[in-house]
A and B are shown apart, each in its own frame.
Chain A
């Protein structure tokens, strides 16, 4: 199946046991697009990302990554996916170097790209390469999770609150790196976050997930308008949630 979109979600329905978290969720992310997923706690953001990463099998609907169905062709779909797990789910008894080696090995790469190690250097991560993960701080683990996600130059990057715990300088380095990666390679980014400054300054599009459904979307032009007018995304977000409630 050939598709131009980096991610296509059709009619997704997912949950845990009998509890339905997501219902009728559809989303298309184009090449080079930075999409921010917003929503209150417990609205299903992480569940949606778990479905995209293949960590949760949806009850209905389909997830297609760069033209490959996650259900029918999982190996090819996952080859094109980069998913940053939460820092606490990294293996504490492996070193950062070993985590990188395992991820690169699992993707079948002949070597880890010099660009990735350059990013590690810019994030001031290199001194921690041979440290056990369970001795690293939250921010350093977060950097490792992002580096693992970017191994193999994935065309779809999925990040869940990836800027949590990062110092401002590292966060800026990462934002710039992601922007240039999207612009140069045509990769797309799906980022779940509560940080509205990222929406206003970096996102191409944003969506609000509320009680398991998309209730509002902000295209790039509207985000820029909100920023210039001084109203900001925050007020617009509050309006959308009030309207839905």
Chain B
């Protein structure tokens, strides 16, 4: 039951590729090998995402200062009365990412990246590498946050008449947009590191799309399991 979302995605993606195959059979300009490898990569990401949802341990309670201290928040001009909306669910994973990225942890991670660079590395290259590590690290933390929030929100809203699919949509839209929105920045950083523009963009889009797919599948499994298989 827990694998149902992943199987659904696999079926949809396979159908989409199946629809392209007849065209590829008659058009020699389409490389069938590349098509197959793309399909395999996507399937790998889906399966990894599903497994990720299973193996990620539940967070342990910890005695730390409130995470909201590190979360950017705009307070001005709030309306007098709250208006019904599920949009805050999409902010939750992003805030959790900021809350997890406490100065102490960011400093330690940056130090580790700098220490891994060989002696004689130019400051320019070092800054680009730190930028790539920060962006990649941020995406990884965001994926963990998405899975954790999927579980927590699902549990919190269980007594309410909210379908799991609607919950998943609202939890995922903003963070997935943030992950995909990071692709141009990553491409720019790859280009600064010396990759040709086309290749830099392809790599960045590939990594961010895979990350988004992995996060979506893991979140789907997490919500599905919390709700005992009810969508």
Q: Please give the residue numbers on chain A whose beta carbons come within 8 Å of chain B beta carbons, in ascending order.
A: 53-55, 57, 74-76, 78-79, 81, 83, 85, 89-95, 97-112, 117, 129-130, 132, 134-135, 158
Contacts and interface: CB of A to CB of B under 8 A. Distances in A.
14 contacts: A85-B159, A89-B155, A89-B156, A91-B152, A91-B156, A92-B68, A93-B96, A99-B88, A102-B86, A105-B84, A108-B161, A112-B83, A129-B82, A130-B78
Interface of B: 66-68, 71, 73, 75, 78, 81-89, 91-92, 95-96, 99, 152-153, 155-163, 228, 230
A57 B228 contact: yes
B78 to A, nearest CB: 5
A132 B86 contact: no
Nearest to B88: A98
Most buried by A among B87, B156, B157, B160: B160
Contacts of B99: 93
B84 A110 contact: yes
Contacts of A93: 67-68, 71, 92, 95-96, 99
A129 B82 CA distance: 9
A117 B83 CA distance: 12
B161 A53 contact: no
Contacts of B228: 57
A101 B157 CA distance: 12
Nearest to A93: B95
Contacts of A135: 66, 68
B159 A53 contact: yes
Nearest to A158: B159
A105 B159 contact: no
Given A90-B156, A91-B156, A93-B67, A101 B161 contact: no
A105 B78 CA distance: 18
B159 A81 contact: yes
A184 B155 CA distance: 32
Contacts of B160: 78, 103, 106-107
Nearest to A109: B84
Contact of B73 (A79, A107, A117, A132): A132
A110 B84 CA distance: 7
Which of A53, A93, A95, A134 has the largest number of chain B CB atoms within 10 A?
Answer: A93
A242 B113 CA distance: 66
Contacts of B159: 53-55, 78, 81, 83, 85, 158
B154 to A, nearest CB: 11
Contacts of B81: 111-112, 117
Contacts of B88: 94-95, 98-99, 101-102
A85 B85 contact: no
A53 B67 CA distance: 29
A103 B91 CA distance: 15
B224 to A, nearest CB: 14
Contacts of B86: 101-102, 105-106
Contacts of A108: 84, 161
Nearest to B152: A91
Given A106-B161, A107-B161, A130-B78, A101 B85 contact: yes
